[in-house]
Each structure stands twice: as C-alpha cells, then as structure tokens.
Structure 1
Amino acid sequence: MNKPSPAVLLAASFAFIIVQLDVTIVNVALPEIGRELGASVSALQWVVDAYTLGFAVFLLSAGVLGDRFGARWVFLAGFALFTLASLACAMAPGALALNLARAVQGVGAALLVPSSLAILNAAYAHDRAQLAKAIAWWTAAGGVSIAAGPVLGGLLMSFAGWRSIFWVNIPICVLGFWLTLRVVPALRGKDPARSFDVVGQALAVIALTAFIGAVIEFNALGIGSALVQGALLVALAAAVLFVRSQRRSAAPMLPLGLFHDVGFSGAVLFGVLVNFAYYGVIFVLSFYLQKVRGFSVMHAGLVFLPLTGTFIFSNIASGRMQARLGSRTPMIVGGLIGASGYALLGILGVANDSTFLEMLPGLALIPAGMGLAVPAMTTSILSAVDRNQAGTASAVLNTARQVGGAMGVAIFGAMHDIRLALAISTALLLLGALLAWRCIKHPLPSKGASLCRT
C-alpha cells in the first residue's frame, strides 16, 4: 500500500490549528472588544463560552455525522462553517452578533476535530506506528497554536485591532479546504444508517446554555432574579429529560453505560476539573493584566506565553512516563504540579508590584502539570472501554472538558477575584490528583479492578 501524502497530515493539522488557536487568541482581545462594542463582562464571558459550548454540545453528534456521511464531507463542511463564522465575527456590529457567530464557530470546530482524526486513522490504517506519529504531529500543531494564540493576538491587535484575530482564520481555513479537496480521498461513512439524535441534541443545547447563562448572569442580577431562577429550572428540567431520552434511545448520543466504569468516570471528572481551572484562570488573568496592572495587549500576550508554551515538553515526558509507569502516576504528578503552579501564581504573581519573574514559576508549572496529566488521562479513558467504543469515549471526554471550561469562565468571571480563582484552582487540581490516585488502575493491577473506592 502507498504511503500517505504528508499533505493529508497537513490538512488535518490545519483544522486543529484553527480550533485551538481560537481557544486562546481571543482572551487577550476581550478588554478591547468590551471597549469598542460597549460590552459588559457577562457579554464578554459569552464571547468565550459561546464558542466552547458550540464545540461541546455538537461534538458527540459530529461523530455521528462522520459515520453517516463520511469524514471528508464533514471535514469540508467544518472548514466552510468555520470560515463563514469567522467572517461574521470579524464584521460583528455588536456583542450579540459576535457571540452568535462564536457559537457557530464552535459548531464548525466540533465538525473539524473528530473528522480530522478519522481522516488520519483512515490514511494510516495500514501502519499503527505511523498513525501514532501522525497524531503526535497533529497534537503538536495544536499545542503550538495554543502557545502562539495570545502572542499572535497581541501582535495583530497592536497593528490592526481586535477584528484581525478573526480575519486571520480565513486564509488558514481556505487553504485547509483546498488542500483537503486535493489530497484527502473520499471516505465512505462507516455506518450510513446511523441516526442523528435530534431530541438528545436539542436537550443538551438547552440544558448547557441555560445553566451557563444563569451562572454568567448571577453576578449582575442575583439569585433572586426571575431570569436566573427560570434559567436554572430550565437547565434542570432539560438535563433530566436528556438523561431519560438517552436511557430510552436505541442509539444515544451519550451512552450512559460508559459511566458505570469508575475508572472512566474518574478520568472524565479529572478532565472537567483541569479545564474548569485552566479556562477560568486564563479568562480572569487577561482582565487582571490589562485592567488592573495596565499592561498593553502585546505585553499581556507575552506574559501568557509560558502559561501556554510548556505543554509540548511535558507531553513528551508524559508519553515516556506512561510507557514505564502507566497512566495513574503522570495524572497524579501532573495534578500536583498544576496545583503548585496555581498556588505559586496566587502567592507570588498577582500582587500589585509582582514582576514577570515572580509570575513565571506559576505560569510555567500550570501547563507543565497539564501536559503530563492530560495525555495520560486520555489513555486511561481509552483503556477503560472496548476498542469499538474508543471514538465515543474520546468524544465524551472532550465534550466534558469543554463543558468544564465553559463553567470555569462563567464562575470565575462572575467572581472578579483572581486570588480566589487561583485558590479554587489549586484545590481543584489537588482533588484531581486524589481522583487519579483513587480511581485509575495501577499499570499492573492484581485483579484488574479499579482502585476507585465508593
């Protein structure tokens, strides 16, 4: 069989680059967006959370579409949708239009990520070692874009304003779309008869949007507000109906049976805690640096660099540690390192006269810990399920992580207290390390049972 063209890997990597880039590039732009559009903090929280929620709630269904219509078709649709949504973001006349466009961007991201992995899986199916290398390069491309996001955002805004952070997506998307048409072969759907869970999808959107909306508006309106109370009731009712629909569905978008394995449930909760802390802290740190410390947008972007830039090195170390010790140890060690990073940033890095060198230990340790823990968490998820459920399990994990990130932005953004946010993040990462210790199997368990004790 012919060796796949490197251009296939490049096309798949373009997708992950833009998806990850839009996670971090927007954060440094939020204060300027707020000034130009007259947007409140709650509206700016939606700039981040609309994208995250659109990504989260459609991620599971995107896999279904890929199985039904073929990964290449869904991949191209994702590029097209992300391009149009980026154009709408760049031209948004107000905060509401921007947030709606960001939600559509998130849906485009949900179409791109699972289909890009499916394309790589098909292209390198004959050689699992080459597939592992391709996925490593794909992951590294996303890691580089996360690291570059704040700096690139600061650079673009220094010369062209906040709208340029969305214009930059368009040539990347167009190039990725063109390259996919040229080099990615047509892929038939693995299960053309698989049905789309319309009811489950609608209930998931309602439940998550109502809950995150209630949390975001809580700070401005208070718990006594009829809007906040009504949104919480809607979220609860939709969540109950969603669980009920998934239990009754012959082809559920979220197979609840996966959560019967305590190792799987523990790893998913670990991912929620990690993203809750990280996304929430990035949001409040951007405002702290620019509004409290008075940093320029470029200066703030450079401060963010160590917070996003050490993932690649710890990712490599995680793979080596897993090969020797299994998934449990890097998850525990990564959780502890991340917790120490948040603690040090809170103690040394957010005083009114803190220098960059005083911020640096905390900023570097946070992604170092995450980089150790997250690959091991993903491996533990995949090892907890049958091979034919690996794709669904991965989608569940990524959905849960995105929801955790959206909750972190909503809750930390409502608190307006970076020290409290960092203290909570320290506690969450310590809880994550404890979860890993109790719930994840040893590399060589004596009886194959999970160590999670209930």
Structure 2
Amino acid sequence: MSTEATVRGDASPRVTLAAVSLVQLLVSLDLSVVNVALPGIGEDLAAGPVELSWFIHAYALTFGGLLLLGGKAADRYGHRRVLLAGLALFGIASLAGGFALTSGHLIAARAVQGVGAAALQPASLAVLSAAFPPGGPARARAFGVWSAMNALGAALGVLVGGVLTEYVGWRWVMFVNVPVAVVALVLTRTGVAADRQRSARGRIDVAGAVLATAGMTLLVYGVVNTDRQSWASPHTLLCLVAAAGLLAGFVAVEHRATTDPLLRLGLLRNRSVVGANLGNLLIGASITSAFYLMSLYIQDVLGHGPAVTGVMFLPFALGIIAGSLLAASIDQTFSRRALIAGGAAMTAAGFAWFGFISPDGGFAADVLGPSIVASVGFGICLGPIVSTGTVGVASHEVGTASSLLSSARQLGATLGLAALGTVAHVVTGADTSPAAVTAGYAAAMTTAAGLLIAVAVIAWAVLPREGPDPATSRQARDGHHGEAHEQK
C-alpha cells in the first residue's frame, strides 16, 4: 500500500495545468516542426534521402518504443520526478541538436529527444489526471485546455518550422524547444504537487520492459521503413512478424507476472481504457496523416512556400482550440461518449470535404472550409477521449494508462502515415502530374474520413454510457490495491 507524503503547500492546479499544457505543446510541436526544415537540414549537413528520413524516424522509434516504459517509470518513481527528468533530457537534446555538425549528431539528438518525450508525455498526463480527478466541470476545462495546446503545437510546428527555416535557419527548429522546456521545468518545480511516497512494489519487470520496448520499436521501425520497402517486402514482413512475436511474449510474461508487471492486463478489462485507446489510435492515424498530406498538397500542388503553408494551417489550429473550449463548456450537458462520437463524425465530414480537392484549387474552398469543419470536430472529441482513458484507473496505474493513450496515438500516427501514404501512392501510380498527385491525396483523405467514422462507432459500442461515479472509482482503486496486495 502507498503512504502519502505531505503535498506541497504551493501546489496549484492552475500552475499544474500550465506546466502540462506547455509539455504537450513541446511534444506536439516537435512532431511536425522538423518536417518543413528537412530540405535545409539536408543541404547544410550534406545528408542524403536515407539520413533525412532518420531525422524523423529516430525520434519516432525511441518515443514510440519507450512510452510504456516511461509510463511505468512515472508510476513507480513518481509522476513529478519523471516529468522533470524528461523535460531536462528533452531540453538538453534539443540544444545539442541545434549545434549538430554532422547528420549523425542530429540523428542521435533526435533519438534522445524521443527518450525524453517518452518519459514526459505519460507523466504529464498522469499529473493532470491527479490534479483534476473525475467529476465536475474542472476536469473537462483542464482537458479542454490541454487539447487546445496539443492542437496549437501541431499546427504551430508547421508554421514555426517554415518561418524559422526560411528566415533564420533550420537550427532554430531545435533551439526553439529550449526556452519552452525551461519554462515548463520552472512551473513543474514550483507549482506541481510533490510525489506520493511509495513502498517498494516488487522487483522491476525487466523481462516485460525489454520485450515491450523491443517489440514496439521494431513495429514502428518496420512501419516507418515502408517509405523505402514495400509492405510485402521480406524486410518489412520480417520486422512485423518479429515485432508481433516479441509483443506476444510480452503479453505472456505479464500474464504470469507475480510481482509488479509493466502492464497489469486487468487494466485492459476497463471499457473506458480500451475504447479510448482504440479511438486514440485511429485519431492519431487520421489527423497526423491529414497534416502531412495537406502540407504536401499546399506546397507541391498549389505551389506555396513553407512560411505560407504554415500560415494556411493556422485556421486548423484555431478551429481545434475553439472545439476544445466548446467541448469543455458543454461537458455537463452531453456525455463524453456523445462528445467523442459527435466530434469524430464532424471531423470525418471535414476530411470527406478534403477528398474533393482539385489541382487548380484555391485556399477558401480546398483548404479553409474543410479545415474549419474538421478542426472544430477534432477539438470536440480530443479532450473527452483522453480524459476517458484514465477514468476509473487506480492512482498507482494512472501513468501506465496515460502511456497506453500516448502509445496508441503515436502508433496510430506511424501506421496512418505509412498506410495512407500507400493509398496515395497506389492511386497516383507512376503519373506525377498535379492531377494524379491530387487524386492520390484526395483518396487518402477520404480514407481518413472512414477512420473517423470508426471512432464514432467505437464511442457508442465500446465506451460505457456514463463515466463511473466517485463510488465506482473508489471501488476500482480498492480492487486494484487489493489485487496488488494479493500478488505480493
């Protein structure tokens, strides 16, 4: 059983919200800020196509592969402590990346950034869930703000990356993370509640950690490598089969674990956790792909530069912020399930509209209109689905549940980019004319709309009708503590 330490007197939910919002801004910003800078990086560091792809893949591999381990570390050693460590590591890696002299240096810095992000993302969500427990409008507002910052980071990544690359150089897409990390560190140290002291919960699950990390890393590697190896190639198939074997071994190890497993499989019997993770997987696949494909459409087909492309993404960010705030304001009127289903359906409508883009299109009809519809819908469903993923979860497993959400989102983004990129490539074929390329992008966006319809169906079919009341949450915590005690 855990014994609680005295909570810091200066702990403030508002400061906690500000800290974790900055963390989410940092993580989501870095997922897209480097993409626009790739041509400049390649020219300055004399990097070829393979090295350029690894500026992205190195981050995705360590981030996606270590998320589950990061969440467990947060639960075991303290959410605040792991959050501080992750922020420090991320900031140092960003600074080192900005001073990189060779492509190898930058790839290494990006990999270390991913390690830091894998620690700080689940820890920050766990801190937010603890500061704003289920029940009442405060949690809805907090997750609404968090969602808005998530969206702002993703869209600002395109804008900031384009502006910095065009006017001051690519190195600033790395340096820009440093002041954000420093401010988040200060806010976390001064305003986030101290960690609860925990008694030892058994030996560290080394076998589970190795199998989960290796399996997730190999899965992400196999998928991201489909930009050079086809899905049916022996290389890709071998990676995916090996990843499946490692992850199956992980499940077997966790099933037999008698001490403190990396992932207690009973957590997956929680319908809120399962439904939220399935939905987050598909949302990650569709939204990340949409940002990527529309960036290519605006630049390669409509012929705009990086800075203008970033400006054109601003309405998408503003729409998500508006949708997030709207969801927070009507949270007491509509259930989380209804908000997720309705928001996903609205996002699907916006993506279906994107499916009508044309090679001689204009900003208003082909970018602005569908961006507003899709972004508002996304903002409505994002906060509720993340909040749902930790409902009814025992306090000592919130970090693990948060890491599952982050893993689902990251894995979905990786799978979505590869799968929808393949859809676009198949439709385009060998024809590189603007009409053929546009048709490929349109087909991929229509497919993304189908993924969002699936999210709406999952919300109604899997998620419980109402979130558990406080009594139910207490029973869940007591049951989980009792199960842990019996395992000891």
Instruction: Output the TM-score relative to the length of structure 1.
Output: 0.84
1: CA distance between counterparts of 2:411 and 2:93?
21
Number of aligned positions between the proteins:
443
Aligned to 1:85: 93
Aligned to 2:265: 256
**384-393 or 395-404, larger mean C-alpha shift:** 384-393
Quick one: which of 229, 232, 243 aligns to 1:221? 229
Give how far 1:55 is off. Answer: 2.9
Aligned to 2:284: 275
Task: Kindly provide the amino acid, as one letter, of the partner of residue 304 in structure 1.
Answer: F
> 1:12/1:259 Cα in 2 relative to 1: closer, same or farther (>3 Å)?
closer
> 1:422/1:363 Cα in 2 relative to 1: closer, same or farther (>3 Å)?
same
Q: Secondary structure at the match of 1:347?
A: coil
Give how far 1:168 is off. Answer: 1.0
2: CA distance between counterparts of 1:228 and 1:118?
35
Task: Kindly provide the amino acid, as one letter, of the partner of residue 173 in structure 2.
Answer: I
Aligned to 1:451: none
Give how far 1:310 is off. Answer: 1.4
Give how far 1:186 is off. Answer: 5.0
Quick one: which of 302, 310, 327 aligns to 2:336? 327
Q: Secondary structure at the match of 1:267?
A: helix
Contact in 2 for aligned 1:75/1:115 (Cα 8 Å) = yes
Quick one: which of 357, 360, 380 aligns to 1:353? 360
Give how far 1:309 is off. Answer: 2.4
5+ residue gaps, structure 2, are 1-7, 426-439, 473-488
Q: After superposition, what is the alpha-carbon deviation per residue over 1:300-335, rounded to whole angstroms, capped at 9, x for unaligned? A: 111222222212211122234432221221122111
Contact in 2 for aligned 1:281/1:412 (Cα 8 Å) = no
State whether structure 2 residue 312 is matched by structure 1 residue 308: no
Aligned to 1:438: 461
Task: Kindly provide the amino acid, as one letter, of the partner of residue 235 in structure 1.
Answer: A
Aligned to 1:284: 293
Contact in 1 for aligned 2:347/2:378 (Cα 8 Å) = yes
2: CA distance between counterparts of 1:198 and 1:284?
40
2: CA distance between counterparts of 1:71 and 1:282?
31
Contact in 2 for aligned 1:272/1:401 (Cα 8 Å) = yes
Aligned to 2:407: 399
State whether structure 2 residue 155 is matched by structure 1 residue 155: no
State whether structure 2 residue 84 is matched by structure 1 residue 76: yes
1: CA distance between counterparts of 2:225 and 2:145?
40
Quick one: which of 369, 375, 385 aligns to 1:367? 375
Q: Secondary structure at the match of 2:195?
A: coil
Task: Kindly provide the amino acid, as one letter, of the partner of residue 426 in structure 1.
Answer: A
Give how far 1:67 is off. Answer: 3.6
Give how far 1:118 is off. Answer: 5.1
Q: After superposition, what is the alpha-carbon deviation per residue over 1:327-355, rounded to whole angstroms, capped at 9, x for unaligned? A: 2211221111111111111203xx22111
Give how far 1:273 is off. Answer: 0.6
State whether structure 2 residue 449 is matched by structure 1 residue 426: yes
Aligned to 2:428: none
Give how far 1:216 is off. Answer: 3.2
State whether structure 2 residue 217 is matched by structure 1 residue 209: yes
Q: Secondary structure at the match of 1:324?
A: coil
State whether structure 2 residue 274 is matched by structure 1 residue 265: yes
> 1:134/1:276 Cα in 2 relative to 1: closer, same or farther (>3 Å)?
closer
**402-411 or 337-346, larger mean C-alpha shift:** 402-411
2: CA distance between counterparts of 1:441 and 1:149?
35
Give how far 1:272 is off. Answer: 0.5
> 1:293/1:44 Cα in 2 relative to 1: closer, same or farther (>3 Å)?
farther
Contact in 1 for aligned 2:147/2:379 (Cα 8 Å) = no
> 1:293/1:191 Cα in 2 relative to 1: closer, same or farther (>3 Å)?
farther
Aligned to 2:249: 241
Q: After superposition, what is the alpha-carbon deviation per residue over 1:66-122, rounded to whole angstroms, capped at 9, x for unaligned? A: 344333432332122102221233234555543442232122122223434555677
Aligned to 2:390: 382
Question: Root-mean-square deviation (CA), in Å?
Answer: 3.4
2: CA distance between counterparts of 1:320 and 1:108?
33
Aligned to 1:23: 31
2: CA distance between counterparts of 1:197 and 1:411?
33
1: CA distance between counterparts of 2:466 and 2:109?
45
5+ residue gaps, structure 1, are 449-454
> 1:75/1:397 Cα in 2 relative to 1: closer, same or farther (>3 Å)?
closer
2: CA distance between counterparts of 1:37 and 1:286?
24
Give how far 1:161 is off. Answer: 1.8
Aligned to 2:179: 171
Q: Secondary structure at the match of 1:108?
A: helix
2: CA distance between counterparts of 1:180 and 1:264?
27
> 1:43/1:437 Cα in 2 relative to 1: closer, same or farther (>3 Å)?
farther
Q: After superposition, what is the alpha-carbon deviation per residue over 1:380-439, rounded to whole angstroms, capped at 9, x for unaligned? A: 333465566444333322221111112122333455432232121011111221222222
1: CA distance between counterparts of 2:84 and 2:401?
24
4+ runs deviating over 6 angstroms = 121-125, 127-132
Task: Kindly provide the amino acid, as one letter, of the partner of residue 205 in structure 2.
Answer: D
Q: Secondary structure at the match of 1:322?
A: coil
Contact in 1 for aligned 2:11/2:190 (Cα 8 Å) = no
Contact in 2 for aligned 1:271/1:401 (Cα 8 Å) = yes
Matches within 5 A, 1:17-56: 17-34=25-42, 36-37=44-45, 44=52, 46-56=54-64
> 1:409/1:45 Cα in 2 relative to 1: closer, same or farther (>3 Å)?
farther
Task: Kindly provide the amino acid, as one letter, of the partner of residue 243 in structure 1.
Answer: V
**374-383 or 425-434, larger mean C-alpha shift:** 374-383
Give how far 1:296 is off. Answer: 0.8
Contact in 1 for aligned 2:57/2:224 (Cα 8 Å) = no
Quick one: which of 199, 202, 205 aligns to 1:197? 205
Contact in 2 for aligned 1:25/1:150 (Cα 8 Å) = yes
Give how far 1:191 is off. Answer: 4.5
2: CA distance between counterparts of 1:295 and 1:413?
21
> 1:357/1:309 Cα in 2 relative to 1: closer, same or farther (>3 Å)?
same
Instruction: Output the TM-score relative to the length of structure 2.
Output: 0.79
Aligned to 2:4: none
**202-211 or 214-223, larger mean C-alpha shift:** 214-223
2: CA distance between counterparts of 1:421 and 1:325?
32
Task: Kindly provide the amino acid, as one letter, of the partner of residue 303 in structure 1.
Answer: M
Give how far 1:183 is off. Answer: 5.6
Task: Kindly provide the amino acid, as one letter, of the partner of residue 169 in structure 1.
Answer: N
> 1:135/1:433 Cα in 2 relative to 1: closer, same or farther (>3 Å)?
closer
Task: Kindly provide the amino acid, as one letter, of the partner of residue 57 in structure 1.
Answer: G
Q: After superposition, what is the alpha-carbon deviation per residue over 1:166-215, rounded to whole angstroms, capped at 9, x for unaligned? A: 11112222343355555657535435446443322222232223233323
